[in-house]
Structure 1
Amino acid sequence: MDEQRRDGFIEQVLKCRTASGRAELGQALSAVCVRALPDVDGAALVFYIDSRAQELVGASDPWAAGIEEAQYTLGEGPGFAVVAARAPVLVPDLSVDEVRWPVFAGAARGEGLAAAFLFPLQVGAILLGTLGLYRRRPGVLPAEFVSEATLLADLVAHKLLLQNQRMGQEERIWLETSYQDVSMATGMLAVLLQISLEDAFLRLRAHAFAAGRSVLDVARDVLDRTFPLDRLTD
């Protein structure tokens, strides 16, 4: 990568404003990735704590956000592989690589996803989450593209971590938005049904998949008492 292009990436990331809040920052950083990299149709940033606690920091558009939500609801996909390996996961043709994540691949292809390229958001030993780059057509990435995407992931990770450190203590928990509802609903089910947190979350996820809904939507129904809990006893 030439020095001028590298400096351009740094400038674009630094220009993303933080005053509007973390959601706007995540969206702005995702949009930078789409503009900066060739042949990328959508991008999304996700923080991972564990399989039950994830947070969509931002996405370039609803389509990319939906791809991330599908991974979370189905419990499989390249994002989980990145976190496990702490390394990029490149899927140039989802139809060929479908055997790795059969349920996710089927759902994502139905939404028009053909290729996915995910990179770890990592600062030193700290793994924050993933940068997902999504494309509607298949195709292998050139080495220069991988190098540029890796640099962008590093820049974005540092930007997010720096912003987190600058926030007040009461705002510092990044995982304090929508997916907290999932954790609360999981805990409620675990207590009421006298099962483990893992089993409670699996029941939420299984019902969401069977109903064609997101885990987040089902969790909110549980918290609002609009979902009959006896439907989750089996």
Structure 2
Amino acid sequence: MTEDQRQRLRSLLAANGDGDSSAVAEICALAVAELAVSGVWVTLIAQTGTLATQQRLVRATDAIATRLEGLQFTVGEGPGLEAVVSGTAILAPDLTATASRWPAFTSGAQAAGAAAVFAFPLSLGTIRLGSLDCYRTTAGQLSSRQIAAALVLAEMTFEAVLSETAGRAHNDLGWITDIHAEVHQASGMVKYDLGITMEAALLRIRGYAYANDIPVAVVAQRIVNRELFLEEE
């Protein structure tokens, strides 16, 4: 079935492509239709252990998908990061059952309007670039055929990303417009101020954002503008 799915989806992508959109954008649009989901986003993730030290949005089909990507970055947990760490598909057909698994992400995702989330790693062997994530506004499982299609779409996304990053190291995310660039800048400033590692600085920023219910990008902006100084613990 997988090979049939691969050939069918590649044919659909070739037939539906308009030549103006990026391959990743076209794959996301195809994923919405094939998987019967409300929205899709693709994120590249560079990690140290289970911590995403860089996270960059490549494409999102709608505002809720963009918000869910930002939420995962803020709280440091969620299906996409788990998919990258584990190298396996993460299926959460009902977010009411994931409160203990991703407590911060679950509450935020539900508030954003998501009822189910699914994540598929962009991987080949030990190389893991990120994830293809989906959400639904109503709870419900993916069928076995939809899961097979999602795995093929993740494979196609991996190839599309590699084609756009030819000549770069697999963990070089600099070619993507970084919507979290100010967060990384702020992490560097907190690192210098407190004499801690970049990873610890990022955790401090995320923790402050979550504790005060402020978007991590807003916290970062305040740090960069020297309107906020995080204190030593």
**TMscore range, shorter length:** 0.7 to 0.9
1:226 Cα deviation after fit: 4.6
Aligned to 1:29: 27
Query: Does the 8 Å contact 1:64/1:134 carry over to 2?
Result: yes
For residues 79 and 42 of structure 1, the distance between their equivalents in structure 2, rounded to whole angstroms, comes to 14
Q: Percent of aligned pairs with the same residue?
A: 31
CA shift in 2, pair 1:226/1:125, >3 Å: same
Extract unaligned runs of 5+ from structure 2.
none
1:124 Cα deviation after fit: 3.8
Aligned to 1:10: 10
Query: Does the 8 Å contact 2:56/2:173 carry over to 1?
Result: no
1:2 Cα deviation after fit: 8.2
**1:74 correspondence with 2:71:** no
Aligned to 1:94: 95
**1:227 correspondence with 2:224:** no
Aligned to 2:117: 116
Which of the numbers 32, 46, 61 marks the counterpart of 1:49?
Answer: 46
CA shift in 2, pair 1:166/1:192, >3 Å: closer
1:82 Cα deviation after fit: 0.8
Is 42-51 or 200-209 further displaced after alignment? Answer: 200-209
- Give the 3-state SS of the residue equivalent to 2:95 in structure 1: coil
For residues 152 and 30 of structure 1, the distance between their equivalents in structure 2, rounded to whole angstroms, comes to 8
Corresponding pairs, count: 225
- Give the 3-state SS of the residue equivalent to 1:95 in structure 2: helix
**1:203 correspondence with 2:200:** no
Q: TM-score, normalised by structure 1?
A: 0.85
For residues 18 and 215 of structure 1, the distance between their equivalents in structure 2, rounded to whole angstroms, comes to 35
Q: Write out aligned runs for 1:114-193 (5 A).
A: 114-165=115-166, 173-175=174-176, 177-193=178-194
Extract unaligned runs of 5+ from structure 1.
none
1:19 Cα deviation after fit: 6.7
After superposition, give the CA deviation of every residue in 1:175-227 in whole Å (9 maximum; x if it has no partner). Answer: 5522232222111111112223232112211121133222223223322x152
For residues 75 and 10 of structure 2, the distance between their equivalents in structure 1, rounded to whole angstroms, comes to 35
RMSD across aligned C-alpha pairs, in angstroms? 2.6
Letter in 1 for 2:90: V
1:134 Cα deviation after fit: 0.6
